[in-house]
C-alpha cells in the first residue's frame, strides 16, 4: 500500500518567499534534491493544469531518476498542490503533494503532506530526504541579504 508522509517546519522567512522557492526552477534545483543529489528542471509551467518535470542525479554514482506531474492548486503565499509520478515503472502510481504556508510571528509555518508514496520507497528514507531538502530550503529563504 502507498503511504503518506507529513512534515512541518517553521522558517524565518515570509510566506511569499517560501512560496516562490517551490515554483522557481533556479530555486528548486538549489534546495529540493536531498544531500548528495543534483537536480535538473526539464519543464515548469506554473499554472493550474500546467506541468512540471525534473530529475535528481546521485552525485557519486551518476544514477538519475525522473518524475513529473501537474499543478492542481496554486494560492500565492498560502498553498500549492501538485501531482508527481516517477518515470520508473518500479515506482508506480501518482503521488499528491500539498504544501501549506501559514504566517506566524517569526516567519512561516510550512506543512508538507505527500500522499501515495510508492511502497518501494521506505517511509523513513522519504522522510529523511524531505528533512534534508527542508534544511536546504531554510538556507535559501531565511537569509536577509540587503539588495544593492
Q: What local confidence, expressed as pLDDT, does residue 52 receive?
A: 97
- Judged against a pLDDT cut of 80, whether residue 62 lies above it is answered with yes
Q: Could you tell me if residue 35 is left (phi over 0), alpha (psi between -120 and 50 degrees) or otherwise beta?
A: beta
- Judged against a pLDDT cut of 90, whether residue 11 lies above it is answered with yes
Q: What local confidence, expressed as pLDDT, does residue 92 receive?
A: 79
Strands (E), 12-78: 37-44, 51-58, 64-75
The pTM (predicted TM-score) of the whole model is: 0.92
- The phi and psi torsions of 51 (rounded to 5 degrees) equal -110, 165
Q: What local confidence, expressed as pLDDT, does residue 119 receive?
A: 85
- Judged against a pLDDT cut of 90, whether residue 114 lies above it is answered with yes
Would residue 146 count as lying in a domain? no
Q: What local confidence, expressed as pLDDT, does residue 64 receive?
A: 95
Would residue 129 count as lying in a domain? yes
Would residue 147 count as lying in a domain? no
Tally of domains in the chain: 1
- The phi and psi torsions of 135 (rounded to 5 degrees) equal -60, -45
Q: What local confidence, expressed as pLDDT, does residue 142 receive?
A: 97
Would residue 148 count as lying in a domain? no
Confidence of residue 93 (pLDDT cuts 50, 70, 90): confident
Would residue 76 count as lying in a domain? yes
Q: What is the CATH number of the domain that holds 38?
A: 3.30.530.20
Q: What local confidence, expressed as pLDDT, does residue 49 receive?
A: 98
Question: Which residue segment(s) compose the domain that 117 sits in?
Answer: 3-141
Q: What local confidence, expressed as pLDDT, does residue 90 receive?
A: 79
With a pLDDT cut of 90, the percent of the chain lying above it is 84
Amino acid at each position: 500500500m502507498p503511504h503518506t508522509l507529513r512534515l512541518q517546519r517553521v522558517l524565518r522567512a515570509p510566506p511569499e518567499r517560501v512560496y516562490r522557492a517551490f515554483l522557481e526552477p533556479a530555486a528548486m534545483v538549489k534546495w529540493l534534491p536531498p544531500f548528495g543529489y543534483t537536480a535538473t528542471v526539464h519543464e515548469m509551467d506554473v499554472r493550474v493544469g500546467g506541468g512540471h518535470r525534473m530529475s535528481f542525479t546521485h552525485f557519486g554514482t551518476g544514477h538519475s531518476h525522473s518524475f513529473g506531474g501537474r499543478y492542481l492548486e496554486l494560492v500565492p503565499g498560502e498553498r500549492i498542490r501538485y501531482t508527481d509520478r516517477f518515470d520508473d515503472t518500479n515506482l508506480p502510481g501518482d503521488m499528491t503533494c500539498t504544501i501549506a504556508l501559514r504566517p506566524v510571528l517569526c516567519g512561516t509555518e510550512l506543512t508538507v503532506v505527500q500522499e501515495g508514496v510508492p511502497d518501494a520507497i521506505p517511509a523513513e528514507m522519504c522522510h529523511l530526504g524531505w528533512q534534508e531538502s527542508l534544511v536546504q530550503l531554510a538556507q535559501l529563504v531565511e537569509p536577509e541579504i540587503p539588495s544593492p
